[in-house]
Structure 1
Amino acid sequence: MKKILLGTTALVTAGLLAGPALASDPLKVTVGGNVVTGFYFVDADHVGGTASQDTKVALVARNIDIKAEGTLDNGLVAGVDAKLQLGSDWNANNVQNGSANFRQLFAYLEGGFGKFEIGGTDGAAYKMHYTSPWFVPGNGVDSPNIYNGVSSKYGYNNYSSSPEVRLSTFSLMATDSNKISYFTPRLAGFQLGLSYTPDAQNHGPSENGLVLLPKDYTNNPYDYNNINQVFEIALNYAGTFGGVDVGVDGFYTGGNAMNNVNADPEEYGLGANLGYAGFTLGGAWYQSNDLDYKYGISYARKDAGAEVWTVGLKYATGPWTVGIAYLDGQDNSDGGLGNYRDGRESQTVQLGGGYNLGSGVDIGLDLQWASNQHNDSWNSTSYDTKSGGLVLAIAF
Structure 2
Amino acid sequence: MKRSLVIGCAAVALAAGCGSASAQSKFDVLLGGDAFFQGAYVDQDRDQNQRTTEFSNRLRLTITPTAKADNGLEYGARLRLRAVGNGNNRTTDNDRAFMFVNGSFGSIQAGVTNGLSDDSGIIGPNPDGIEGSPDGFVTTFYTFPGLVGAGALPYVMGSLRTLESGDASTKLVYQTPTFAGFKLGAAYTPVMGSSNTNVNRQKNTTNYRDVGEVQATYTGAFGAVAIEASAAYQFGKADFSNTEDLSSVHAGLNVGFGGFKIGGSYAFSGDSGYAKGATGIDDAQVWIVGVNYTTGPLILALNYTDAKGIDSNYFGVNARTHLWQAGVTYTVAPGLTTGLEYSYFDNKVGTLNNDANVFLWDTRFAF
**How far is 1:186 from its partner?**
1.4
Partner Cα distance (1:186, 1:18) in 2: 18
Q: Say if 2:138 and 2:358, in contact at 8 Å, map to a contact too.
A: no
Matched, 1:31 2:18: no
**How far is 1:39 from its partner?**
1.6
Partner Cα distance (1:262, 1:45) in 2: 34
Give the structure 2 partner of residue 69 of structure 1: 66
Counterpart mapping for 1:84-233 below 5 A: 84-89=81-86, 97-136=89-128, 142=134, 144-147=136-139, 148-151=141-144, 154-155=147-148, 162-167=152-157, 168-173=159-164, 175-202=167-194, 205-207=195-197, 213-216=200-203, 218=205, 225-233=206-214
Counterpart mapping for 1:235-384 below 5 A: 235-292=216-273, 301-302=275-276, 305-331=283-309, 341-342=317-318, 344-374=319-349, 379=351, 381-384=352-355
Q: Say if 1:45 and 1:52, in contact at 8 Å, map to a contact too.
A: no
Unpaired stretches in structure 2, ≥5 consecutive residues: 1-15
User: Mean Cα displacement is larger for which, 165-174 or 136-145?
Assistant: 136-145
Letter in 2 for 1:341: V
Partner Cα distance (2:289, 2:272) in 1: 24
SS state at 1:122 partner:
coil
Q: Say if 2:341 and 2:360, in contact at 8 Å, map to a contact too.
A: yes
**How far is 1:389 from its partner?**
2.8
**How far is 1:173 from its partner?**
1.9
User: Mean Cα displacement is larger for which, 102-111 or 282-291?
Assistant: 282-291
TM value normalised by structure 1:
0.79
Letter in 1 for 2:55: V
SS state at 1:166 partner:
helix
Partner Cα distance (1:320, 1:245) in 2: 20
Letter in 2 for 1:207: T
User: Mean Cα displacement is larger for which, 120-129 or 134-143?
Assistant: 134-143
Q: Say if 2:301 and 2:328, in contact at 8 Å, map to a contact too.
A: yes
Partner Cα distance (2:109, 2:33) in 1: 21
Partner Cα distance (1:139, 1:351) in 2: 15
Q: Say if 2:154 and 2:310, in contact at 8 Å, map to a contact too.
A: no
Matched, 1:389 2:360: yes
Cα 1:88–1:271 shift into 2, 3 Å: farther
SS state at 1:387 partner:
strand
Matched, 1:40 2:40: yes
SS state at 1:151 partner:
coil
Cα 1:18–1:99 shift into 2, 3 Å: closer
* CA deviation profile, 1:327-353 (whole Å, cap 9, x unmatched): 1111169xxx99x623x2011111111
Cα 1:112–1:122 shift into 2, 3 Å: same
Q: Say if 1:200 and 1:230, in contact at 8 Å, map to a contact too.
A: yes
Partner Cα distance (1:18, 1:115) in 2: 12
* CA deviation profile, 1:213-245 (whole Å, cap 9, x unmatched): 324163xxxxxx321100101112111113111
Partner Cα distance (1:277, 1:309) in 2: 25
Cα 1:244–1:98 shift into 2, 3 Å: same
Q: Say if 2:175 and 2:183, in contact at 8 Å, map to a contact too.
A: yes
Partner Cα distance (2:40, 2:118) in 1: 30
**How far is 1:79 from its partner?**
2.1
Over aligned residue pairs, what C-alpha RMSD do you find?
A: 2.6
Q: Say if 2:184 and 2:214, in contact at 8 Å, map to a contact too.
A: yes
Partner Cα distance (1:194, 1:201) in 2: 19
Partner Cα distance (1:314, 1:137) in 2: 7
* CA deviation profile, 1:363-396 (whole Å, cap 9, x unmatched): 111111112114x5xx2x3211112232211113
Unpaired stretches in structure 1, ≥5 consecutive residues: 1-15, 219-224, 293-299
SS state at 1:142 partner:
coil
Partner Cα distance (2:100, 2:347) in 1: 41
Q: Say if 1:165 and 1:345, in contact at 8 Å, map to a contact too.
A: no
Cα 1:115–1:139 shift into 2, 3 Å: closer
Cα 1:316–1:137 shift into 2, 3 Å: closer
Letter in 2 for 1:59: N
Q: Say if 2:138 and 2:360, in contact at 8 Å, map to a contact too.
A: no
Give the structure 2 partner of residue 80 of structure 1: 77
**How far is 1:76 from its partner?**
0.9
Letter in 1 for 2:357: K
Q: Say if 1:141 and 1:350, in contact at 8 Å, map to a contact too.
A: no
Q: Say if 2:22 and 2:70, in contact at 8 Å, map to a contact too.
A: yes
Q: Say if 1:149 and 1:384, in contact at 8 Å, map to a contact too.
A: no
**How far is 1:59 from its partner?**
1.7
**How far is 1:267 from its partner?**
0.9
SS state at 2:156 partner:
coil
Partner Cα distance (2:84, 2:33) in 1: 14
Q: Say if 2:21 and 2:70, in contact at 8 Å, map to a contact too.
A: yes
Q: Say if 1:141 and 1:327, in contact at 8 Å, map to a contact too.
A: no
Q: Say if 2:209 and 2:239, in contact at 8 Å, map to a contact too.
A: yes
Partner Cα distance (2:66, 2:168) in 1: 20
Counterpart mapping for 1:41-56 below 5 A: 41-46=41-46, 50-56=48-54
User: Mean Cα displacement is larger for which, 104-113 or 255-264?
Assistant: 255-264
Q: Say if 1:137 and 1:363, in contact at 8 Å, map to a contact too.
A: no
